[in-house]
Amino acid sequence: MSVSCVRPPIGTSTPGKHLRRIENQVAESFQLPSTPLQQFTLANGLRVILNRDQSVPVVSVAVYYDVGSRNEKEGRTGFAHLFEHMMFQGSENVPKAAHFQYIFNAGGTMNGTTSTERTNYFETLPANQLPLALWLESDRMCSLKVTQENLDNQRNAVQEEKRLRYDNQPYVNAFLRINELIFKNPANAHSTIGSMEDLDAATIDDIREFFRIYYAPNNAVLTISGDFEEQETRALVEKYFAEIPSQPRPPAVDVSEPEEVAATEESFPDQLAPAPAFVLGWKIPARRTQEFYALSLASDLLFEGDSSRLYQKLVKGDESVVSIQGGVDERRGPSALYIFALPKPGFEPQAIRQQIFDEIKRLATSGPSEGEMEKLRNSLCNDSVRGRQSTMYRAQRIAEYALYDDDPKLFDSELDNYLSVTAQEITNAVARFLDVDNRVVLDIVPDAERALESAQASAQPPGERRQPAAPAPQIPSPESEQQISPSNSEVVVASSAHPERPEQPADPPKQTEPGSGPLHP
Amino acid sequence: MSTQQDFRQQPPPPLPARHLQLPSATEARLSNGLAVVIVEDRRLPLVSYRLSFRTGDAHDPPELPGLTEMLTGLLTEGTESLSSREIADEIARMGATLSAGANSDYSTVAASSLSRFGDQVLELLADVTLRPSFPENEVALARQNTKESLRQQRAQPSFLATEMVSRCMFGQHPYSVIAPTPESLDATSRDRLIEFHRSQFVPNNAVFIIVGDVHAESVLKRIERLFGQWEPAGTVADDFPAPPAHTSRSARIVDRPGSAQSNIVIANLGITRMNPDYFPMLLMHTVLGANASSRLFMNLREDKGYTYGAYSNLDARRSAGTFRASAEVRTPVTGDSLKEFFYELERIRSQPVSQKEITDAKAFLTGVFPIRLETQEGLIDQLVQIRMFGLPENYLDTYRDKVQAVTVEQIREVAERYVKPDQATIVIVGDGIQIEEQIAPYTDDVTFFNTAGKPKSRPSLTPKNVVRAPQNIVGNWQLEIQTPLGQTIPATLILEEAETGLTGRVESEMGDADLLTVNLDGQSLAATLAFDMGAGETVEAQISGELSGEQIQGSIILQNSPPLTFTGSKQ
């Protein structure tokens, strides 16, 4: 699943009362700097958006394919993510695993992610290396080497990744389970990493067919953001992509859900969990609906940052939790909202849960305060403007709006939709969708007995030790541990771990190893 | 299609290089010694602030590790006029951020906002820096939360590896300590925090950097107003003991029974950040192990398949540094991995790197340079480092030239000087019993530690070293095993004497297991349990216990699980 808390920028900020009574300039409206866009579509259906900005001589290229776990049929789960791996295994003119070498040796960075909605590939390079990126992306779009050997290798790699990122981590698999309970439609309920059985059963023909259907120019968007010449770039795009043949439209996907998710409470044994925890989950309306905007803002009020209601109540007030987090899974179909809590030793999960429900009820009845509305608006503004600094952020967001909505200009205008949300709308949305019994409670229970059983299940026959096959490479950052975070790590399933906050650009400059900052790889 | 094929066969050449306009800064110094650096950047209506102090974890009083860390965390938890909540609400109301943190060498108070809130955020930044109140309840909460995270950290192999490497490499130098202890936390009183803040967080020890949509003159005036009354104080120059020299190779193993991976770090003493060898070292590091086209990665991962990723680390700090090679490898290939590591470390010091390698490394470093300066955050962090390490002010302007100027011979020289496989310290966090023999060919000087960092005996003993077991040990022990959920599982531990030493079984509802490689050290018992799953399959666990007369207590660790504690008595 892709857990994204991205909110478009805000426009107006109204002054609230200041503790210091400092006179503040009251601006009636917030003008977001306008993003220049040039759009065109090739004859083969590839949608292309160019965003020129000469601030820094870098360029980011993003290719978004309209295929995610939502497109996977039963018995065929995990294909979209497996494919993401395969895309780095070489194409007609690019040797196996050379993709990342080309990028590094040109002085760039790269990544790729898979979610329920889409698979994306992106790189940032010095501006004069734009042709290299287009060559790499076009070569694999048209001539990916789908061989039995690559398939077998990457199946192994996915197994290793599943072990490393999911099965070897406490709490992570609970998030996969909760989706199975929130969503009734298998297309929505299953995880992006998929099942090993389905992947083991995949034949080379299955994979070739998958590639043919989904990895087609008419099923993709290409965005380029940064310092380039428009005419020259347009010509390069034509040169590298125009000849790639289009394919028939992929089959439509049904992501409809019954409206209610019945109240479900389940116990989830976790052999790695050192302490009990729980996840709460709600089904919420699709992205870009008025209710979704309202619930997204409600989620900020509830658990985003130190001034959020649940942080103040549980971390600072009762001091009863080690952590309280939440997130919104934004999808084109029915979406989801989660809250995760890790109680401190000696505090009852049940009691903490009740407090969370009480706070939701409070929001559902009295609604947000004026101060909270101001906070929301200013945060949206701030996040939006701050994100815009990065060519990669722009390339990705523009590609999303092009892919999902066929309207890249939403990059600038979506802000107004969020800004238009009223306190009453937030109150109503919380009342209708969160302050209800229709929710999932997943109790994560440490279970060492099961540890023995599953150790048995994963024990390998003696003598047959498989090498960890090549998962995609990782850009090392000495100070950070491997995290499931699209911004830090390499080719990963987008955020199946804890619901994520949007990246905070101005986080404290904590570096465990000074001298290993960005200029010191 | 054939013309299309032709041009696709090769990667395209780059377009003409585009110019990078580096920002210019306005510099000033207040009369109290506060240095101010202002970079105007009006691309977007944003502003970023960093107020950095040349006081970091290394300056903690020796008996109070973690003091600086706790102090910086508490700055935003209350000032003379604002509570923690009020600060949080005020910042959030503006959609801004305000936080503080520390590393080994320096601390930073950081803030950012839309430029329209720039002044207010600056006032708040001044308030938390100059007038923190360290409320007693917040201090208590910080202590408690840090204790919680210490507990979590001890379950993480990477933390254990860093802890051991730091201890071994830095010795008496304060970089050797990377975390507080519960005891030191209890001793970190409000008074000590206040005193440390008063003496260290002073203007002549600080640099204030502002990047963003500001006018240099007016922001400087505001800074003068807010920080002008700040009193300087005498600072003492750093005088840390030198890290120890190592004259031979050694291995320090943190035993994590049942670990499926070995977390390997091989380290030598390196350079400080300001050492003139820095750029040759940077190139050497890039060729050896900076990214996925480097030698360590290509060898240990791409070629051998031992690991998810193998890298080197140029750890160059203000007063000392190390150079490390590391990877997390599957337990059974620990020895093989060491072989490849040493092969690569020997190779880089004895043979010149190839022309392609140095060219690629330069392309990487110069290429990512502008990418890291795309954002205000990226730029301001570089400026902080330049000031805190005393690097030349034109560092950014000359960086790429300095990279380009490094020669193959210079790389070999620094590799020879600093990469010393024969004097390296090997730190491995892994399953001691599985790796003990694998390490043996690489060094005789091997010490084992438990995950609490205390020395322990070797995981296994050869038969001739077995001491005859005291009679009070042999026999049947009735155990009660506690699961984290609070269940109790009864079990019987049967210990018997055999020619080769102690042997025995565990019988329980969980299954029956033979005891393998029983190690008895005084009254401390340790053994591997092998549970028979049928069809020739076994699952292993580790059991350890302390005997005291007729009582025993200890724990059983299944692979990748929290320990199950038990108590018991002799039947």
Residue A153 counted as domain residue = yes
Q: Do the chains contact at A520 and B314, CB–CB below 8 Å?
A: yes
Q: Are A373 and A19 in contact (CB under 8 A)?
A: no
Of A207, A241, A275, which one is at a domain's C-terminal end?
A241
Name the DSSP letter for residue B186.
H
Residue A19 counted as domain residue = no
What CA–CA distances, in Å, run from A255 to A258, A260, A285, A291? Answer: 10, 15, 12, 18
Asked if A206 and A64 sit in the same domain, the reply is yes
Chain A contact present for B377, CB below 8 A: yes
Q: List the 178-217 stretch of B: residues with Cβ below 8 A of A.
A: 178
Q: Do the chains contact at B306 and A475, CB–CB below 8 Å?
A: no
Domain residues for the domain of A218 are 38-241
Centroid of chain to Cα B263: 13
Asked if A224 and A272 sit in the same domain, the reply is no
Residue A161 counted as domain residue = yes
Q: What are phi and psi of B375, to 5 degrees?
A: -110, 160
Q: Do the chains contact at B307 and A33, CB–CB below 8 Å?
A: no
Q: Nearest Cα to A496, choosing from A172, A161, A84? A: A172
Sort A502 into a burial class: Cβ within 10 Å, 0-12 / 13-18 / 19+.
middle
Q: Do the chains contact at A476 and B388, CB–CB below 8 Å?
A: no
Asked if A147 and A287 sit in the same domain, the reply is no
Closest to A105 (Cβ–Cβ): which among B20, B81, B364?
Answer: B364
Q: Are A77 and A158 in contact (CB under 8 A)?
A: no
Closest to A385 (Cβ–Cβ): which among B46, B364, B389?
Answer: B46
Q: Are A87 and A79 in contact (CB under 8 A)?
A: no
Distance, in Å, from the CA atom of B460 to the CA atom of B399, rounded to the nearest integer, reads 52
Asked if A320 and A236 sit in the same domain, the reply is no
Asked if A226 and A283 sit in the same domain, the reply is no
Distance, in Å, from the CA atom of B528 to the CA atom of B460, rounded to the nearest integer, reads 10
Mean pLDDT of B26-41: 97
- Residues 6 or more apart in contact with residue B45 via CB below 8 angstroms: A33, A385, B114, B115, B116, B213
**What ipTM was assigned to the predicted interfaces of this complex?**
0.80
A38-41 β-sheet, strand order: A38-41, A47-52, A220-226, A58-65, A119-126, A109-114, A492-493
Q: Taking CA atoms, what residue in A is nearest to B400?
A: A519
Residues of chain A contacting residue B15, judged by C-beta atoms under 8 Å apart: 127-131, 232
What CA–CA distances, in Å, run from B162 to B67, B150, B316, B426? Answer: 19, 14, 15, 12
pLDDT at A105: 92
Q: Are B202 and B230 in contact (CB under 8 A)?
A: yes
Q: Taking CA atoms, what residue in A is nearest to B162?
A: A512
Residue A498 counted as domain residue = no
Of the ranges A44-48, B86-90, B245-249, B499-503, which one carries the lowest mean pLDDT score?
Answer: B499-503
Q: Are A244 and A138 in contact (CB under 8 A)?
A: yes
Residue A136 counted as domain residue = yes
Chain A contact present for B311, CB below 8 A: yes
Closest to A519 (Cβ–Cβ): which among B96, B360, B399?
Answer: B399
Residues of chain A contacting residue B47, judged by C-beta atoms under 8 Å apart: none
From the candidates B49, B152, B375, which should be mutated to test the interface with A, based on the most A CB atoms within 10 A?
A: B375
pLDDT at B415: 98
Of A429, A448, A467, which one is at a domain's C-terminal end?
A448
The pairing of strands B564-570 and B551-558 is antiparallel
Q: Do the chains contact at B95 and A375, CB–CB below 8 Å?
A: yes
Looking at residue A287, its amino acid is R
Looking at residue A78, its amino acid is G
From the candidates B368, B529, B540, which should be mutated to test the interface with A, based on the most A CB atoms within 10 A?
A: B368
Domain count, chain A: 2
Q: List the 452-491 stretch of B: residues with Cβ below 8 A of A.
A: 483-485, 487, 489
Chain A contact present for B542, CB below 8 A: no
Distance, in Å, from the CA atom of B406 to the CA atom of B362, rounded to the nearest integer, reads 9
Q: Do the chains contact at A459 and B376, CB–CB below 8 Å?
A: no
DSSP output for A209-229:
HHHHHHSSGGGEEEEEEES--
Closest to A459 (Cβ–Cβ): which among B86, B297, B539?
Answer: B539
Residues of chain A contacting residue B222, judged by C-beta atoms under 8 Å apart: none
- Residues 6 or more apart in contact with residue B174 via CB below 8 angstroms: B57, B58, B59, B60, B62, B240
Beta-bridged to residue A224, according to DSSP, are A50, A61
Asked if A270 and A195 sit in the same domain, the reply is no
Closest to B363 (Cβ–Cβ): which among A106, A312, A377?
Answer: A106
Cα B178–Cα B180–Cα B183 angle in degrees, nearest 5: 155
pLDDT tens digit string along B155-208? 788 899 999 999 999 999 999 999 999 999 999 999 999 999 999 999 999 999
Q: Do the chains contact at B558 and A451, CB–CB below 8 Å?
A: yes
Looking at residue A477, its amino acid is S
Asked if A279 and A210 sit in the same domain, the reply is no
Distance, in Å, from the CA atom of A72 to the CA atom of A78, rounded to the nearest integer, reads 7
Distance, in Å, from the CA atom of B298 to the CA atom of B173, rounded to the nearest integer, reads 35
Distance, in Å, from the CA atom of B447 to the CA atom of B430, rounded to the nearest integer, reads 13
Q: Taking CA atoms, what residue in A is nearest to B51?
A: A509
Q: Do the chains contact at B305 and A305, CB–CB below 8 Å?
A: no
Closest to B89 (Cβ–Cβ): which among A307, A447, A515?
Answer: A307
Asked if A186 and A316 sit in the same domain, the reply is no
Residue A206 counted as domain residue = yes
Cα B462–Cα B463–Cα B467 angle in degrees, nearest 5: 105
Task: Give me the CATH number covering residue A418.
Answer: 3.30.830.10
Q: List the 42-101 stretch of B: residues with Cβ below 8 A of A.
A: 43-46, 48, 50, 56, 72, 81-82, 84-86, 88-97, 99-101
Distance, in Å, from the CA atom of B142 to the CA atom of B130, rounded to the nearest integer, reads 20
Closest to B20 (Cβ–Cβ): which among A57, A138, A319?
Answer: A57
3-state secondary structure A166-187: HHCCCCHHHHHHHHHHHCCCHH
Look at the alpha carbons of B180, B181, B182, B186 in this order and tell me if their dihedral is positive or negative.
Answer: negative
B/e letters for B315-350, b = 16+ CB within 10 Å, e = fewer, are bbbbbbbbbbbbbbbbbebbbebbebbbebbeebbe
Q: Do the chains contact at A371 and B93, CB–CB below 8 Å?
A: yes
Closest to B123 (Cβ–Cβ): which among A20, A128, A379?
Answer: A20
Q: Taking CA atoms, what residue in B is nearest to A13?
A: B94
- Residues 6 or more apart in contact with residue B293 via CB below 8 angstroms: A100, A101, A104, A105, B360
pLDDT at B94: 96
The yes-or-no verdict on residue B361 having pLDDT over 70 is yes
From the candidates B120, B145, B166, B308, which should be mutated to test the interface with A, based on the most A CB atoms within 10 A?
A: B308
The pLDDT-based confidence of B534 (bands split at 50, 70, 90) is low
Asked if A234 and A270 sit in the same domain, the reply is no
- Calculate helix-pair angle for B118-130, B216-227, nearest 10 degrees: 30
Mean pLDDT of B282-301: 93
Of A416, A448, A480, which one is at a domain's C-terminal end?
A448
Looking at residue A312, its amino acid is Q
Asked if A220 and A365 sit in the same domain, the reply is no
Q: Taking CA atoms, what residue in B is nearest to A475?
A: B291
Residue A14 counted as domain residue = no
The pairing of strands A321-329 and A277-284 is unpaired
pLDDT in tens, chain A (521 residues): 222 222 323 332 323 333 332 223 333 356 788 999 999 999 999 999 999 999 999 999 999 999 999 999 889 999 999 988 889 889 999 998 799 889 999 999 998 999 999 999 999 999 999 999 999 999 999 988 888 988 887 887 787 777 767 776 778 889 999 999 999 999 999 999 998 899 889 899 988 999 999 999 999 999 999 999 999 999 999 999 999 999 999 999 999 998 766 789 999 998 777 789 999 999 999 999 999 999 999 999 999 999 999 999 999 999 999 899 999 999 999 999 999 999 998 999 999 999 999 999 999 999 999 999 999 999 999 999 999 999 999 999 999 999 999 999 999 999 999 999 999 999 999 999 999 999 999 999 987 655 545 444 444 333 332 222 222 222 222 222 222 122 222 222 222 222 222 232 222 223 223 223 323 32
Residue A386 counted as domain residue = yes
Looking at residue A85, its amino acid is H
Asked if A203 and A275 sit in the same domain, the reply is no
Min Cα separation A500/chain B (Å): 17
Q: Which element (helix H / strand E) includes B49?
A: strand B46-53
Q: Nearest Cα to B257, choosing from B450, B107, B493? A: B450
Asked if A207 and A333 sit in the same domain, the reply is no
B/e letters for B76-93, b = 16+ CB within 10 Å, e = fewer, are bbbbeebebeebbbbbbb
DSSP output for A338-397:
EEEEEEPTT--HHHHHHHHHHHHHHHHHT---HHHHHHHHHHHHHHHHHHTT-HHHHHHH
